[in-house]
Amino acid sequence: MVTTSLGRFANAAQVITVDSNAEGGILVPLYGVPQAGTARVFVQAGQATGNTQVTLAAGQCEDFEDNDTPVQANDQPSALCRGSFEDDVIINPEEGEDDYYSLVLEPGDALTVELREIPAGADYDIILYNTALEVVAFSNQNGQANERFTYTNAGTQPALFYVRVNMIGKSTMVENSYLLRVAREPLEAPGALANRLQSLPSSEHTTADPVLPAKP
């Protein structure tokens, strides 16, 4: 049995039971989801025990271009990750600079989205749209303030949603990047998002941006 104090194993839990190989070793992927830090990992095999420390760092968000409209949204599993708007300038400066991520919530699933480390001089917001591109949750404080919203799928069916990272103001001093935290409860197992997306109808949205909530 393997237990971790931080992160999740492939079964989306912090405890997993695995069989050893012929040499008595085990290989257990540990995902830094949805937070970073130092994990203490404990292993028990019969009466033998051991522990070690593993550093979990923020990975790269699924923000590869083009992801500037809902129809171009990239599937984003639960994660603490870094994203950037910079690629848009390289590929097509005429396109929008927002990043869109798609995700699926089962009935009763709760979602928390946080946006942090907004650079000096910039102003970013986060908005959650349903499949009809209606605003269902958002956080849009002014300036560099951290953004955060929570939402629960109160419906009776799995539903597709879009998270939009909206660039209201751009920094002229540093790279326009951000730290994004996407966390579902219950947490999905790694790889589960793609399987759930396949069960939903394909998006028929246009490439136009949906409406933004009014700024305070």
**Cα separation, 155 vs 53, whole angstroms:** 41
Cβ pair 63, 83 in contact under 8 A: yes
Higher pLDDT, 183 or 37: 183
Domain edges within the chain: 2-56, 59-198
Q: What is the CATH number of domain 59-198?
A: 2.60.120.380
Contacts of 13 (CB under 8 A, 6+ apart): none
Cα atoms found within 13 Å of the Cα of residue 52, Cβ hemisphere only: 6
**Cα separation, 81 vs 99, whole angstroms:** 13
Surface-to-core class of residue 48, CB atoms within 10 Å of its CB (0-12 exposed, 13-18 middle, 19+ buried): exposed
62-95 pLDDT tens trace:
888 888 888 888 888 888 999 988 654 444 444 4
Cβ pair 74, 63 in contact under 8 A: yes
| Nearest-5° Cα angle at 131, 34 to 73 | 55
**Cα separation, 25 vs 16, whole angstroms:** 15
139-163 pLDDT tens trace:
999 999 999 999 999 999 989 999 9
Least confident of 13-17, 74-78, 121-125, 198-202: 198-202
Token pair of 85, please? Answer: 């708007």
The amino acid present at 105, given as its one-letter code, is L
Cβ pair 89, 132 in contact under 8 A: no
Going by pLDDT thresholds of 50, 70 and 90, the confidence category of residue 206 is low
Average pLDDT in the chain: 84
